[in-house]
Structure 1
Amino acid sequence: MARLQLKNVNKRWGSFVGVDNFDLDIADQEFLVLLGPSGCGKSTTMRMIAGLEDVTDGEILFDGKVVNDLEPKDRDISMVFQSYGLYPNLTVYENIRFPLKVRKVPKEKHDDMVMNAVRMTELEDFMHRRPADLSGGQRQRVALGRAIVRKPTVFLMDEPLSNLDAKLRVSTRAQIKNLQSKLKTTTVYVTHDQIEAMTLADRVVVMNAGKIQQVGTPTDIYDTPANTFVASFIGSPAMNLVEGLLKDGVFEGENIRVEGLPTGPSGNITLGFRAEDAEIVDGAGQIEAPMYSIELLGEASMITWRLGGALVSIKTNKEYRAEIGDVVRARIPAEICHLFDTATGERVAL
């Protein structure tokens, strides 16, 4: 059982700010994902939780107790790294057992604890192999087994799927989700992959340049992004963002015109909409422009235009056919549009 709190946590190296005023309450048993591009501060935040990095300012609390000065070994955490971190000379069984030996767990308990972790990570057939004889996915499962064997109060996972191919990422992602639901252990997971964040998290913390951009459920962040950074980072493809002028509820940009928008805001506005929320039409539409590209995705086709400086995409049925350069029209319902202040990038309150 563990509730984590980060109160106004900062990390600086000289004049460089790695994490800026990070303030967050992580509930017991929650699966929280820190999401953002490389260098945004997410791994540094995790390392401060683990005790591998000192906090410049602020407090980190485990169940109400400040742990800033506690050594990593005294925080009752387990970490899973991108690099697996397995001992090459030890078998799978011995790699998973190793944390029990280090923490001086009575030997008579080792076998039951190791075998429980082996079963949960489906490694029964590989117990006597060494890491060199395993696939990437199997090595990551060993790392997971080693993390869960002693039942810590907090799991910290730093980009654990980055070294796996696409197919293995999907299967291992499902296994991590299943394990966490069974173990009910507070988990903080770092990734730059928004699909991992959306599929795994109870809540997502989107970070950029050391700052929290938005905190919410995957649905909240997908449906109501707080700013253009979040809108452009979440979704596959990301939200379309087109700059233009809004006046009296009418948005106009290059080859795009959307009527029926709220009449309150006006001026330079960035219009956002999701590729799956608009549709290709034969008659008049809100977009009318030469097609820039067409891509078959399998279950759908992706149509892309260049509108001013932005590439704008819409999904349509997989049977759709057109040639690059053909004028293609699309309908964008006003009610599915998002409005952002072009100057600040912040969502416009309606």
Structure 2
Amino acid sequence: MAEIQLRNISKRWGSFVGVANFDLTIADREFLVLLGPSGCGKTTTMRMIAGLEDATEGDIIIDGKRVNNLDPKDRDVAMVFQSYGLYPHIDVYENIRFPLKVRKVDPATHDERVMRAARMVELEDFLHRKPAELSGGQRQRVALARAIVREPNVFLMDEPLSNLDAKLRVSTRAQIKNLSHELQVTTVYVTHDQVEAMTLADRVVVMKKGVVQQVGSPTEIYDRPANTFVASFIGSPAMNLITGRITHGTFAGHNVEIGGLDAPDGEVVLGFRAEDAALSDVPAQINGRLYTIELLGDATMLAVRAGREMVSVKAGKEFRAEIGDRVSFSVPTNICHLFDAGTGERIA
């Protein structure tokens, strides 16, 4: 097992900064998710850990050993890519066994290790098929088994579910979660999908333009986003963010007025989650017209046009109204989030 220390690592190509001053310790057996939009530096960070990219600055330490100058094959990490990377001319059994042959592991142990890995991802009935005969989800499970069979110190997973359809993504995500619990191996997982991050991670690192925005448990990041970028990136739907001004403890924006806030006067961004808003039969803190109504089965998601703002509100499944109807709702003061209007940083 392995602890990973990333000590102020940076990656630059000329004047372009891919990753800036990334400093973090990933605990032994931790499942860490690097989360952010395309181009934020999350895959570059993982590739530096793997040795597929050289760090411009900083130290990468795995299990107490500096590995900056080690080749990928000597770092004892196993990678799972979104493209599967399977060999089309050999069957599933041989694809899973391939890392053992390359690393010259005792052939007497191969069958037992391959069968164990195949059982973990429920592939026992597909071992003699070629990759072309498998579905996308089955191919991704072969890639997982090929990583498992190596018994590495570290798993690195680069958007492994992005090529799967919605249903397969859910089932494969559950499989990865179960494998993580069963194998207890330090894992770094890259994704742009905040649902994957929230469901899989012990801790999440949210990145933007090569810079770490926040590190914390999924609950911490959801409940106390460090800035407006994190607030808008985490959650489905994203947190409502309304620009306005606080005067004597009362926030006022377009068709929005919320009092009782413990904050200094000035321009702020007020945030709240869709599920924290409560519909009212009389004019309340926020008033507007229904823009869209989405039936989700267990709830009804409303988009409300409040002045210039579009606000998401989660109502009960029994809610009934028509697009264009006027609605009012309130938000408890104690769950409102306040951010600096200039910097976007959270106001304590």
TM-score, normalised by the number of residues in structure 2: 0.99
Q: Partner of 1:225 in structure 2?
A: 225
Kept in 1, the 8 Å contact 2:254–2:309? The answer is no
Q: What is the match of residue 20 of structure 1?
A: 20
Deviation at 1:265, TM superposition (A): 2.1
What is aligned with 1:317? 316
Higher mean Cα deviation, 86-95 or 277-286? 277-286
Q: Could you tell me which residue of structure 2 aligns to residue 275 of structure 1?
A: 274
- Retained in 2: the 8 A contact 1:231–1:239? yes
The equivalent residue for 1:74 is: 74
Q: Secondary structure at the match of 1:80?
A: strand
Q: Retained in 1: the 8 A contact 2:289–2:306?
A: no
User: How far apart are 1:295 and its partner, in Å?
Assistant: 1.4
Give, as a single letter, the amino acid of the residue that structure 1 aligns with 2:74: D
Q: CA RMSD in A?
A: 0.8
2: CA distance, partners of 1:185 / 1:300: 38
Q: Match for 1:322: what amino acid?
A: A
The CA deviation at 1:297 is 1.5
Amino acid at match of 1:346: E
- Cα separation, 2, equivalents of 1:66 and 1:307: 55
DSSP 3-state at the match of 2:44:
helix
Q: Report if the CA contact (8 A) 2:288-2:307 is conserved.
A: no
What amino acid is the match of 2:204?
A: V
Separation of aligned partners in 2, 1:310 and 1:192: 26
AA aligned to 2:37 is P
Structure 2, unmatched stretches of 5+, are none
> Residue 114 of structure 1: SS of its match in structure 2?
helix
Q: Any idea what SS the aligned residue of 1:207 has? A: strand
Q: Distance in 1 between the 2:249 and 2:133 partners?
A: 63
Task: State whether structure 2 residue 28 is matched by structure 1 residue 39.
Answer: no
Give the partner amino acid of 1:122.
E
Tell me by how many angstroms 1:281 deviates.
1.0
How many residue pairs get aligned? The number is: 348
Secondary structure at the aligned position of 2:317 is classed as coil
1:306 aligns with 2:315: no
Q: CA deviation at 1:15?
A: 0.3
SS at 2:225 equivalent: coil
CA distance, structure 1, for counterparts of residue 34 and residue 45 of structure 2: 9
Instruction: Measure the CA separation in 1 of the matches of 2:299 and 2:216.
Output: 29
Aligned to 1:63: 63
Superposition deviation, residue 330 in structure 1:
0.5
Cα offsets for 1:294-343 (capped at 9, x unmatched): 11112111111233543211000122122222211001111110000011
Report the AA paired with residue 318 of structure 1: K
Out of 276-285 and 179-188, give the one that drifted further: 276-285
- Alignment deviations for residues 169-225 of structure 1 (CA, whole Å, 9 cap, x no partner): 111001001111111000000000000000000000000000000000000000000
Q: CA deviation at 1:266?
A: 1.8
Contact 1:285 1:332 in 2 (8 A): no
Partner of 1:348: 347
Give the residue type in structure 2 aligned to 1:157: M
Instruction: Show structure 1 runs of 4+ deviating over 3 A.
Output: 307-310
Letter in 1 for 2:17: V
Q: Which amino acid aligns with 1:248?
A: H
Pick which of 163-172 and 287-296 moved more. Answer: 287-296
- SS of residue matched to 1:11: strand
Is 1:8 the counterpart of 2:19? The answer is: no
Distance 2:307 2:11 in 1: 39
Q: For residues 339 and 136 of structure 1, what CA distance do their matches in structure 2 show?
A: 43
Partner of 1:180: 180
Supply the distance in 2 between the matched residues of 1:45 and 1:65 (Cα, whole angstroms). Answer: 18
- 1:39 counterpart SS class: coil
What SS is found at the alignment partner of 2:321?
coil
Partner of 2:265: 266
- Partner SS state of residue 137, structure 1: helix
Aligned residue in 1 for 2:160:
160
- Going from structure 1 to structure 2, the CA distance change for 1:52 and 1:308 (only over 3 Å counts) comes to farther
Q: Is the 8 A contact 1:242 1:307 kept in 2?
A: no
- Using the alignment, how far apart are the partners of 2:89 and 2:214 within structure 1? 44
Structure 1 residues not aligned, in runs of 5+: none
**1:320 aligned counterpart, secondary structure:** coil
How big is each residue's C-alpha offset from its partner over 1:109-151, in whole Å with a ceiling of 9 and x where there is no partner? 1001101101111101000000000000000000000000020
